[in-house]
Structure 1
C-alpha cells in the first residue's frame, strides 16, 4: 500500500508499506540489511562531465545503459570480489555488475549481496520490487524499507536458472519485435524522404504538368505572400500602438512584427536535386516569428499550462505533457502558442530528440519553456503539416544533425541553426496530394508499429508475471532436503553481530589511544 504526501501527492518513506504476498513455509522475509551490504563510495564517484567516450575502465551509473562512459583513473575503480547490484537512486534502475568499475557520481548505490544470498537471486528479487515513483527524486529509502522473500540457497539457484531460461526465450522474441520496430522506423523515414523529394507525386505532376508553377514562379509567389502578410501585420501594429498611446501608454508597448528576412536559397549546401516546380529555401524566410520560450521555473499544480521538453517529438506533440506556471497579469501571454505553430526541441540529453519539431494543434492556452523554440509560418500557402514532415526527414534533418553541439551530456542547437534549415517546398495542390499519400501510407505503418509495441508490452507483462511467481515460490518445486531459509537468516544475523563486535572493538581501541604528553617549560 502506498500513502501519499497530501502536499504534493508523492509517497513518503514513513507512510509507504512494502508489498508482500504469501510465501512457502520454509521461506522467510528478510530486511534490506540482511540481504545487502551498502558499499561505501567515498572518493570514488566520477561526475558525468568527466566521462570519456573510451578508456581503460568502465563507468557504471544510474542511466539506462549498462556502461555510462569510461575513465583512465585507476584510483576511482571499485574492485569487487563478487558481483554487485548497482541501484539508481533517482531512476530506480538495477544493474548486475560482475567486473571492476568506477561508479558514476549522481545517485549510484552499490549493493553487495550477503554470502548466503545468490547474487543473481538478489538482482532479480530487487527488479521484482514495486517501489513508488517519485520522478527524479530519491528512492533508496524505499528500497531499504523493502522486504525480500528468501528461500533456501539451493532453491535460489534453481529459481535463477528457471528465470534465465524463460527470460532467454522472451528476449529472443522481444529482440525480433525490436528489430521489426527499427525496420518500420527506417521504412517510415524512407516514405517521408520520398514524399519531400517529390517522388511520391511524380505521376501526379506528369498528369498536371500544364498547371504547375516553375521554381522561379513559386519563389516569387512565396516572397509576395510573405511581404503581403508582413504589411497587414505592420498596419495592425500601427493601429494597436496608436490605441496604446491614446491610453497614456498604459502597459507594455505592442511588439513590432518581425521584418521578413527574404526568401534565400541555401546555395552553400549540397542538397538533393528536386523536380520541376520545387525549390530549396532557408526556413527563416518562411517564418514571421522564431523565438525561445520562458526561462522561469514552473511550480505548483495550478496556473497556466507550460509544456515539458518531452512533449515535443518528431511529428508528435503530447498536449497533456505539461507543468504549471503562474502567469499573473498575463506577463507570459506573448509566449502562448497558436494553432499551426511548429515547435522545436532546443536541448535534450539524446541527440535523436534535438531539433525535431511538431505542429501545435492545441487551443492556444499553452506556454512553452526555454528549451523549446516556437516558430510561426508567415506564408499562408505553405501548410504547417507539410513543413513538419519536411523538416523531420531527408536533407533538412541531416542539416540539423550536423549543427548539434554537445556540452556536459546535453545536446543542443541554436535559433540561428533553425533559421538556416534548408526546406524543400512545392505548390499548394501538390502539398495536398502529398498529405493524402502520406496519410494512407503512414497509417498502415502506424498500425504495424502498434502491433509490435503491443507485443513488446505483452512480453514485459509476462516478464513481471515470471518474477512474481518466482518470488512467491510458484516457479520451481521445493525440495524438503534443502536447508530452510530460517537457518540462512540465523547465519546472517550471527555474521552481522560478529562484524558489529569487531567494529566496536576497533572503535574502542581508537578512543583508548593515549594522548602525547604535553611538554611544558617550567
Structure 2
C-alpha cells in the first residue's frame, strides 16, 4: 500500500480485500434439470459492467459459480479485460468468475468500483499465471485498499454513479457518431461502385472517356498476347448480365476470370517465418514477416478458408501469401488495382462462401464474381474522391476515439479520488471503518464451523 495510515481520511482504515469479503461462493455441479440462468465470460462487456446476454445453466456440461442478487461477479480469466458485474438475479456463472457474495458489512457497488480501478487491475495481473492468465481469490485477497465507513461507501457510490452517468451520455453520443460514420462510409462506397459518386464528373467528361467495354477488350487482348500460364490460353466466358442492375453509361460488368488469374498461397508455419522485411499475408492480413516472397508486385489477397474467408487485402510490394489465402495474378495493368480491390471488397465474398462449419472461397467462386468496371480515368477519379472523403472521415473517427480514451481516463481519475476520500465529505457520525472491520472479524469468529448452505441448482 502506497503511503501510510496517516494519509487516509479520518474514520477510514487500511484493509485487505480478504479482511472485508468472505471466501468466494462455492461451485455447483452441472444439472440438466436446472432452471437457473447462466452467465458466461462473453455475456459481460469489458470495462463497462454491462450484462449483454445470458444462457441456461441446464445446457452446461461443467460446474459453475453460484450467485445471488447483489453478488459481484469478477472475471478471473484475463483480468486485463476488467469484466465485472453486480448480479440482479439468482443464477450460475462460468467457473471463470469469482463470485464475491453480498454482505451487510459493505456496499456491493463499492466493491464493484474498487475492482474496476486500474490499480486493482494491475495488481490482479501481477497475481495471474498461465498462457491464459487467471487469478484465484487467494491471489487477490491480500490487495490492500483504504476502507471508508459503510455509510460513506454508500455516499461514494452515489457520487460515482452520478458522475459516470454524465460520462455515459457523452460516450453514447460519441458512439452514435461512430455508428453514423460507419453507415456514411458504406453509403459512399455504394455510391462509388454504382457510379453515383462521380455522376457529375462523368457528365462533364463523357466525350473523353473510353467505354468500359473497350477497356475490357484491351485487358483480354493483353492477356492473350502475354499468356504464359499452364496449357493453352482459354478465353473467359462473357458473364450473363441479364438479371444484373443497369450500369452508368460507359461502365460494363466484368467477371473475376476476365480480370485476373488466381494462385493459391503456400504453407508457411509461424516457426518457419524468418522475420525479415517481407510481409506474410493470410486470410486475416499480415500475420508475420519473412525473408522471401511469393509474388513481387502488389496484388490482391483473398482469405480462402475459415472465419476470414472472403476478406480482401491489398499488398504494396513483395509479399508471401500463405495457403489460407488466394492471390491475384496476371494483373490488368490497364486498371487501378486499388479500385479493383475496392470492387472485390464490396462483392462481400464471405457471404457467398461455401461449406458448413468451415466455410471457404475457391478460385471457381472468384472467377464467377461479377464487378462493375468503369473507364480507367473514372476509376482514378473515384479513388481520389474516396481518398479525400476517407481523410475527413478518419479525422472524425480519430477525434471520437481520442474523446473516448479521455473519458475512460476521467473515470479512473474519479475512482482514484473516490478511494482517496476526496470525492465526498466525511461525516464524523459514521461508524469508523476500524469498528466495521472489528465487527466483521467478530462475526466470522462467532461461526467458525458454520457450514455453507448448499446452493440450489
Fold match (TM-score > 0.5)? yes
Instruction: State the shift of 1:29 in Å.
Output: 3.4
1:204/1:335 Cα in 2 relative to 1: closer, same or farther (>3 Å)?
same
Aligned to 1:392: 345
RMSD of aligned residue pairs (Cα, Å): 4.1
**Which residue of 110, 117, 122 maps to 2:111?**
122
Instruction: State the shift of 1:446 in Å.
Output: 1.8
Matches within 5 A, 1:466-505: 466-498=414-446, 500-502=448-450
SS for the counterpart of 1:38 is coil
Aligned to 2:40: 60
Using the alignment, how far apart are the partners of 1:30 and 1:308 within structure 2?
52
Instruction: State the shift of 1:295 in Å.
Output: 6.6
Matches within 5 A, 1:367-378: 367=320, 374-376=327-329, 378=331
Aligned to 2:75: 87
Using the alignment, how far apart are the partners of 1:283 and 1:345 within structure 2?
15
Matches within 5 A, 1:94-493: 94-104=84-94, 107-130=96-119, 131-132=121-122, 137-141=132-136, 143-144=140-141, 146-231=143-228, 234=229, 262=236, 265=239, 267=241, 271-291=244-264, 294=267, 296-298=269-271, 312=285, 333=292, 339-344=298-303, 347-348=306-307, 355-361=310-316, 364=318, 367=320, 374-376=327-329, 378-393=331-346, 396-397=347-348, 400-403=350-353, 407=357, 413-415=360-362, 420-493=368-441
Instruction: State the shift of 1:158 in Å.
Output: 0.6
Using the alignment, how far apart are the partners of 1:384 and 1:20 within structure 2?
61
Instruction: State the shift of 1:426 in Å.
Output: 1.9
Aligned to 1:520: none
Instruction: State the shift of 1:473 in Å.
Output: 1.2
User: Is the CA contact (8 Å cut-off) linking 1:343 and 1:360 kept in structure 2?
Assistant: no
1:378/1:323 Cα in 2 relative to 1: closer, same or farther (>3 Å)?
closer
Aligned to 1:239: none
Unaligned regions of 5+ residues in structure 1, if any?
Answer: 1-17, 47-54, 235-255, 313-318, 505-522
TM-score by length of 1: 0.69
Deviations 1:233-266 (A, max 9, x none): x4xxxxxxxxxxxxxxxxxxxxx79988836536
Deviations 1:276-303 (A, max 9, x none): 3223333355333343564735599967
Using the alignment, how far apart are the partners of 1:433 and 1:406 within structure 2?
40
**Which range moves more in the overlay, 113-122 or 169-178?**
113-122
1:183/1:405 Cα in 2 relative to 1: closer, same or farther (>3 Å)?
farther
1:360/1:83 Cα in 2 relative to 1: closer, same or farther (>3 Å)?
same
Instruction: State the shift of 1:476 in Å.
Output: 0.8
SS for the counterpart of 1:392 is helix
Matches within 5 A, 1:3-18: none
Instruction: State the shift of 1:25 in Å.
Output: 4.3
User: Is the CA contact (8 Å cut-off) linking 1:346 and 1:371 kept in structure 2?
Assistant: yes
Aligned length: 428
Unaligned regions of 5+ residues in structure 2, if any?
Answer: 46-50, 453-457
Aligned to 1:49: none
User: Is the CA contact (8 Å cut-off) linking 2:71 and 2:100 kept in structure 1?
Assistant: no
**Which residue of 9, 26, 42 maps to 1:24?**
9
**Which residue of 24, 33, 40 maps to 2:26?**
40
User: Is the CA contact (8 Å cut-off) linking 2:256 and 2:370 kept in structure 1?
Assistant: yes
Using the alignment, how far apart are the partners of 1:483 and 1:179 within structure 2?
45
User: Is the CA contact (8 Å cut-off) linking 1:258 and 1:289 kept in structure 2?
Assistant: no
User: Is the CA contact (8 Å cut-off) linking 1:83 and 1:119 kept in structure 2?
Assistant: yes
User: Is the CA contact (8 Å cut-off) linking 1:62 and 1:89 kept in structure 2?
Assistant: no
User: Is the CA contact (8 Å cut-off) linking 1:62 and 1:108 kept in structure 2?
Assistant: no
SS for the counterpart of 1:29 is strand
